[in-house]
Chain A
């Protein structure tokens, strides 16, 4: 199989898997008072420290969660609820956010009286800082803008946005699940108040993640119970998941630079070869030659006249895994809101395909794709765009 969908999930790193299995063999609830409990607690705290160290945070700022969606929901709803009593009911949200953010924000709008303001993006998918500056006022509860986009890979000017928000006393949350391990991510240096990270996008296990949340950022819990995580998040801690997650985060961040270089080289080769076999393919998102503008493992193309779904099916039949990059409800693809917000027309939005590379990607994967792609595009083009 040629797996070119690492932005969906990437294989576990061998060392993360080993750490998971080794820890899972041991008993211990990190909240228990006996030796087994203390041993488990120690593993959790060591993991917290390892993650904090590589992400530029203090250990007490790392709150373990069940993954990216939970971290996003906790940051957005929790901070909103905490600040609403001060009359801060406005939520500013990037226009191309993941649904874990967008839907949480819109839920607040529909059920909790939030006034939702969408921050527009340019044609590369980047939030314009002027738009944020304009929208900021004393009624804003929080701003949420992703560090890097999951579909087109555009990296946002997070530090600039966070500084604008902070100057007005507004916390900024960023969903960095696609960014950690791909581009440099430093929590403290970025100036954000809250940052979402998840295990399975960087070689850790599924179902575990963290919200890095400043000590001074008030946040109402979503899950009530034992208060395990700073009283902001309850639930028995997933010790093997957390240990394995920490191994993966540490590895991903420490090797980020060389990993990014390797991926970018492969990705650039992929782009060149796709263009060679499908000359009218259109690269969406930020240019690849602008340092730091785009995730190194992301190539996102429009194939005019083809339906992304049809291409996916045809490549799948050749055992090549790609994505249309669009949100999926009961498997029905909607035109990507990301591309629409970037100014694409709905037809173009439906004719796109995302290739994302990761630590197991080799040139052989590219070879397989390039071998299969021309015939798939021909065929999809003949099938045309269904209504």
Chain B
């Protein structure tokens, strides 16, 4: 608006049975959140509508989330929501209705050069969950908050009299209101007891109620009952849905130096031919790691300059080019394997 755009507010109804009040999670699906959004639109003096995307969200995000866990992977639903809902279903509808772009409050920068960069507020940077967007989607996207820190955004909201200025940040998975991901998965996948196996000896160390409840790199909640012979903690190394087995081992066995991905999206210009030096980020809020990235069709591989731990299939590998004006997102892929 301040930049001369004609703005319309849209709140997405993503839950078929929206909780009336906040229920633990500070998500985005409660009626109270819809109310907050409406009040913000009132104060800004822009039209406001609720778009019902519950069915699409259920199919493309929630069912995908459950299926990914069932397949032994660790999905990132925010990433999927951006790819399939916010910058697909919503964007398509908006363009058809005559709007030019979808504007969200993601902390990332998208300049006139069409390059997606990390937010100036590195602690709040969300370029990782936007890296699945292709160039066409980005052409119709705007992220006005990327040039500001969260503190500045809150100050601006205060100055404009928006009641959400002090609203807590959202952290949890919005469709798991109580934050109990394992309970959610158990409800959807049922319990399926299986073995927890030592990676070195093949010995069965304990039982689990469902392999889906485990994530590579997880240490807590294994309940093995007896310590490893060397007395060191054990971590989940891999999950094998076919045999319903969770394999555990020492921390160093988590180290990987090669990450393979599929469903590559390359944002920054033509996909490179041959290996390129860059940085990769392997999980939301993960630190960047120097790597050599190579593309082959829809596949991406990253050789890490130094080993990383706890890399889970289903997460995204996002390639960045370090840049003084903000690291540039080159592209992304979904991790299939790490070794």
Option from B50, B96, B97 in Cβ contact (under 8 Å) with A330: B50
Asked whether any CB of chain B lies closer than 8 Å to the CB of A290, the reply is: no
Q: Give the chain B neighbours of A384 by CB distance below 8 A.
A: 96
- Is the pair A330, B31 in contact by a Cβ cutoff of 8 Å? yes
| Proximity bits, B236-253, A CB within 8 Å = 1, else 0 | 000000000000000000
Q: Which of A45-53, A148-156, A202-210, A308-316 contacts B (4 or more CB under 8 A)?
A: A308-316
A310-B97 contact in complex given A330-B18, A330-B34, C-beta closer than 8 Å: yes
Option from B11, B55, B92, B98 in Cβ contact (under 8 Å) with A331: B11
Report the contact-size class of chain B (Cβ under 8 Å from the partner). 20 to 34
Nearest B residue to A331, CB-CB: B50
Q: Give the chain B neighbours of A313 by CB distance below 8 A.
A: 8, 47, 49, 97
Interface residues of A in 306-334 (CB under 8 A from B): 309-310, 313-314, 316-317, 330-333
How many Cβ-Cβ contacts under 8 Å join chain A to chain B? 47
Report the contact-size class of chain A (Cβ under 8 Å from the partner). 10 to 19
Interface residues of A in 264-285 (CB under 8 A from B): none
Expressed in whole angstroms, the Cα–Cα distance for A383 and B51 within the complex equals 13
Expressed in whole angstroms, the Cα–Cα distance for A387 and B38 within the complex equals 23
- Is the pair B56, A387 in contact by a Cβ cutoff of 8 Å? yes
Nearest A residue to B48, CB-CB: A331
User: Which residue, B18, B89, B93, has most C-beta atoms of chain A within 10 A?
Assistant: B93
Expressed in whole angstroms, the Cα–Cα distance for A261 and B92 within the complex equals 44
- Is the pair B34, A331 in contact by a Cβ cutoff of 8 Å? yes
Asked whether any CB of chain B lies closer than 8 Å to the CB of A258, the reply is: no
B95 CB to closest chain A CB (Å) equals 8
Expressed in whole angstroms, the Cα–Cα distance for A330 and B52 within the complex equals 10
- Is the pair A333, B98 in contact by a Cβ cutoff of 8 Å? no
Q: Give the chain A neighbours of B13 by CB distance below 8 A.
A: 330-332
- Is the pair A314, B49 in contact by a Cβ cutoff of 8 Å? no
Q: Give the chain B neighbours of A331 by CB distance below 8 A.
A: 11, 13, 34, 38, 49-50
Expressed in whole angstroms, the Cα–Cα distance for A382 and B98 within the complex equals 10
A-B contact pairs, 16 of them (CB 8 A): A309-B49, A313-B8, A317-B47, A330-B18, A330-B31, A330-B34, A330-B50, A331-B38, A331-B50, A332-B50, A332-B52, A379-B97, A379-B98, A383-B93, A383-B97, A384-B96
Known: A310-B97, A331-B34, A332-B13. 7 other contacts (CB 8 A): A331-B11, A332-B18, A332-B52, A379-B97, A383-B93, A386-B93, A387-B56
